[in-house]
Amino acid sequence: MTMIFGVPLAVFMGQLTLGLVNGAFYALLSLGLAVIFGLLKIVNFAHGAQYMLGAFAALLGFRYLGINYWLALLLVPLVVGAFGVLLERFLLRRIAHLDHLYGLLLTFGLALIFEGTLVNFFGVSGARYATPEILQGGLNLGFMFLPTYRAWVLVAALAMCLFTWFMIERTRLGAYLRAGTENSQLMQAFGVNVPLLITLTYGFGVALAAFAGVLAAPLYPVSPTMGSSLLIVVFAVVVIGGMGSILGAIITGLAMGIIEGLTKVYYPEASNTVIFFVMIVVLMLRPVGLFGKEA
Amino acid sequence: MMTESQPMAAPSAVMEREKRAKFRRNMFYLALIVVGLVAPFLAYPVFLMKVLCFALFACAFNLLLGYAGLLSFGHAAFLATGGYVTGYLLASYPGLTPELGIIAGTLMATLLGVLFGVLSIRRQGIYFAMVTLAIAQLVYFMFVQAPFTGGEDGLHGVPRGELFGFISLSSNLAMYYFVFAIFIFGFALIQRTVHSPFGQVLKAIRENEPRAVSLGYNADAYKLVAFVISAGLAGLAGSTKTVVFQLASLTDAHWHMSGEVILMTLLGGVGTLLGPLMGAGIVVSLQHILAQSPLGNWVSVILGIIFVFCVLSFRSGIVGELDKMYRKNFK
């Protein structure tokens, strides 16, 4: 059997795939955080809770309304995104003129409310969401076994990342968004409806989190606390990559997933802390983050 | 009512006024100390000790947020470090007196504060919050895996021991007065720091960092010192709490705890000296009352709602609002 640094190739590749899949989630979530941060200048602490709401919406939609996975993948981001639009319109907008730390505190409070409410109804032990039939099983690639669903998550998450990148960098709406990030007052003077743009941007960021949640539902146990621990790791990823660039967020997310996966192979004790250590090293060598602009 | 001529008043009159304000403040503190001294005869001492420990924790946190403008989302790490180190030492070395255990825990938290501080003040604003949260999570995972913390179970049966080797702390009343003395010490230290020239520079940095830097102040050094003092006092609170309840657990290290201390400070009044004390009292009482009511499972939801309410329309907190009312009506 082929060995890589004393580890069987199949095990090595298996963990690498797991890491890449986790990295795809880091990328999707940090991308959403970066999009929201760009225009609203707040860190959306409810992002993890919104990811969790996405997974729960898929689960409950299936259980009570018979909505299948594919429909959920389309509908849930729209519904949760619309919910995000309401949050921005009625809560976040009221404190937009204040220090941006208040935005962080407000969304933290919202995260506590969402998480606590669902814990009361569903407990902390997770529920299972069935993998759609067509994506069950796996491919034998000869040197490793690749579960189809993981491959699909990787493809879908990357496609969504690229779609977001395209929307922001190559469309007119994206141009407005980038201009608003640079100078929203000037944009408003040019007749662009900036408040509407802000609302839609927040809604889009929340929809991205919900999309990630639906993707994650068949992979991890669906529980009310699934988002919060993930979010802290994503924060570390954001500190490592900086929130300045879309591609930076995607690359950093995937890279951190791979590093985490490899740590699981060679030094499993540190697998849940390695990203924080990377963050510390980055802070010491390049405080603005790998893709951050010098202030 | 303020008149136009008042700012022109002779320096002696201004000094006289300042003196009177200072006298009033001292009398107020004295009254508070008297209240603290008789409190254990009116309320359950263990509950009061819990309030005092969290109040010290919140005061320490407030030193950083209220006077240096730094929002730390990782203060639970210091509370837990103080608690674990003290708990481990007192449980493993029966000869050790509680005050030495507490000093050791506090020192360890202070050291951790230096490490945290050096790393996190490299970033500002929301990045600072995210960095502190992430490092605190790292500390949390270390406590989960470390052999001396008892993992998920935590440390139990930490002896209260005998203060200075001859005052038994097994009675709640004796324990209470010890905790009260520690709180007074911590509060006085914060009060002194805030009103010192150091505190003034800290406030200047909070208001306008580039200007403070251009005046020749080393902003990073000031922030670091504030961070370390805050971490040390948070550790002191954690150490004391461990001796009182005779246990240290992962709850103290969890990010929920970092959020709770923010809520206590925000509710009581950020940047006021008494706000965190009041906020801690309210939050601890609330948890206590809710735990016995049918709403027991909804504590975190209710805390979240208070959080949202405070941010939306109660940003000065209770003490801040009272202060505003007082200024409007009596000055």
Per-residue pLDDT tens over the stretch B88-133: 999 888 888 888 989 999 999 999 999 999 988 888 888 888 889 9
Confidence check: pLDDT of B237 > 90 = yes
Q: So what's the pLDDT on residue B204? A: 93
Chain centre distance of CA A271:
20
Minimal-distance CA residue of chain B relative to A114: B301
Average pLDDT, chain B: 88
A105 vs B: CB within 8 A: yes
What whole-number distance in Å separates Cα of residue B267 and Cα of residue B257?
15
The tens digit of pLDDT for each residue in A216-258 reads: 999 988 999 999 889 999 988 988 888 777 888 889 999 999 9
Q: Do B134 and A239 touch (CB under 8 A)?
A: yes
User: In the prediction, which pLDDT does A246 show?
Assistant: 80
A63 contacts chain B (CB < 8 A): no
B122 with A283: Cβ contact below 8 A: yes
Q: Which residues, including other chains, have CB under 8 Å from residue A123's CB and lie 6 or more apart?
A: A223
DSSP state of B162: E
Condensed to tens digits (0 to 9), the pLDDT of residues A159-210 reads 999 999 898 888 888 888 888 888 888 888 888 888 898 999 999 999 999 9
What's the confidence (pLDDT) of residue B8?
A: 53
Residue B305 contacts A, CB cutoff 8 Å: yes
Q: Give percent above pLDDT 70 in chain B.
A: 96
A136 touches chain B (CB under 8 A): no
Q: Which residues of B touch A281 (CB under 8 A)?
A: none
| Alpha-carbon distance B202 to nearest alpha carbon in chain A (angstroms) | 18
Residue B3 has pLDDT above 50, yes or no: no
- Contact B133/A235, CB-based, under 8 Å? yes
Which pLDDT does position B10 carry in this prediction?
62
Domain boundaries, chain A: 3-285
Q: What would the two tokens of residue B99 be?
A: 């005050």
Complex prediction ipTM: 0.87
Domains with residue ranges and CATH for chain B: 43-330 (1.10.3470)
CB contact under 8 A, B307 and A108: yes
Selecting from B122, B131, B311 the residue whose C-beta is nearest the C-beta of A105 gives B311
Nearest to A206 by CA among A45, A12, A26: A45
**Quick check: B76 pLDDT over 90?**
yes
**Widest Cα–Cα separation across chain A:** 67
CATH C-level class of A3-285: mainly alpha
- Angular region, B49: left φ>0, alpha ψ -120 to 50, beta rest: alpha
Judged against a pLDDT cut of 70, whether residue B209 lies above it is answered with: yes
Among partner residues B120, B127, B301, which is closest to A113 by beta-carbon distance?
B301
SS3 state at B274: coil
| pLDDT given for residue B11 in this prediction | 66
Nearest by CB to residue B134, choosing from A104, A108, A279, is A279
B126 at A interface, C-beta within 8 A: yes
Please determine, for residue B5, whether its predicted confidence score (pLDDT) is greater than 50: no
Residue A59 pLDDT exceeds 70 = yes
At which residue do the structure tokens 């001294």 appear? B37
Q: B129-166 pLDDT, tens per residue?
A: 888 998 999 999 999 988 888 777 788 888 887 778 77
Between CA B20 and CA B251 the distance in angstroms is 45
What residues of chain B lie within 8 A of the CB of A112, using their CB? 259, 300-301, 303-304, 307
The answer to whether the CB atoms of B129 and A94 lie below 8 A apart is no
pLDDT of residue A10: 78
Across the interface, of B71, B266, B303, the residue whose CB is closest to A112 is: B303
Answer yes or no: are the C-beta atoms of B145 and B135 closer than 8 Å.
Answer: no
Percent of chain A residues past pLDDT 90, beyond the cut: 41
> Residue B230, CB half-sphere, CA atoms under 13 Å: how many?
31
Q: Are B46 and B276 in contact (CB under 8 A)?
A: no
**Counting runs of H as helices and runs of E as strands, what totals does chain B give?**
13, 2
- Whole-Å CA distances, A163 to A13, A171, A249: 28, 11, 14
Q: Which two tokens stand for residue A145?
A: 């076994």
Phi-psi category of residue B259: left, alpha or beta, with phi > 0 → left and psi -120 to 50 → alpha: alpha
B299 to chain A, any CB pair closer than 8 A? The answer is: yes
Compute the distance between CA of residue A258 and CA of residue A275 in angstroms, rounded to an integer: 10
Contact B305 A109 (CB under 8 A): yes
What does the mean pLDDT of chain A come to?
Answer: 88
Tell me, yes or no, if A113 comes closer than 8 A to chain B by beta carbon. Answer: yes
Task: Provide the chain B residues 269-298 that lie in CB contact (below 8 A) with chain A.
Answer: 297-298
Please give, one letter per residue, the 3-state secondary structure of chain A. Answer: CCEECCEEHHHHHHHHHHHHHHHHHHHHHHHHHHHHHHHHCCCCCCHHHHHHHHHHHHHHHHHHHCCCHHHHHHHHHHHHHHHHHHHHHHCHHHHCCCCCHHHHHHHHHHHHHHHHHHHHHHCCCCECCCCCHHHCCEEECCCCEEEHHHHHHHHHHHHHHHHHHHHHHHCHHHHHHHHHHHCHHHHHHCCCCHHHHHHHHHHHHHHHHHHHHHHHCCCCCECCCHHHHHHHHHHHHHHHHCCCCHHHHHHHHHHHHHHHHHHHHHCHHHCCCHHHHHHHHHHHHCCCCCCCCCC
Q: Which residues of A touch B306 (CB under 8 A)?
A: 109
Residue A109 has pLDDT above 90, yes or no: yes
- What is chain B's Cα-based Rg? 21
Q: Distances from the Cα of B74 to the Cαs of A195, B80, B122, B162, in angstroms?
A: 33, 11, 15, 32
CA-nearest residue to A90 within chain B is B312
Mean pLDDT of A81-110: 91
DSSP B167: E
Contact, B109 vs B236, CB < 8 A? Answer: yes
Longest dimension (CA), chain B: 69
Evaluate whether A240 touches A282 at the Cβ level (below 8 Å): yes
Of B123, B134, B311, the CB nearest to A106: B311
Q: Mutation test of the interface with chain A: which of B115, B126, B297, choosing the one with the most A Cβ atoms within 10 A?
A: B126
pLDDT, position A8: 80
Show residues of chain A in contact with B315, CB under 8 Å. Answer: 98, 102
Which value, to the nearest 10 degrees, does the dihedral of the CA atoms of residues A241, A246, A247, A249 take? 30
Alpha carbon separation from A145 to A13, A138, A148, A187, B199 (Å, rounded): 9, 7, 9, 52, 62
What does R_g of chain A's alpha carbons equal in angstroms?
19
Report pLDDT for B1.
Answer: 39
Residue from B122, B308, B309, B313 to probe the interface with A (highest A Cβ count within 10 Å): B308
Confidence of residue B331 (pLDDT cuts 50, 70, 90): low
Q: Does A76 touch chain B (CB under 8 A)?
A: no
Instruction: Please report the pLDDT score of residue B227 as a whole number.
Output: 95
Q: Cβ contacts (< 8 Å) between A232 and chain B: which residues?
A: 133-134, 137, 255
Contact A280 B135 (CB under 8 A): yes
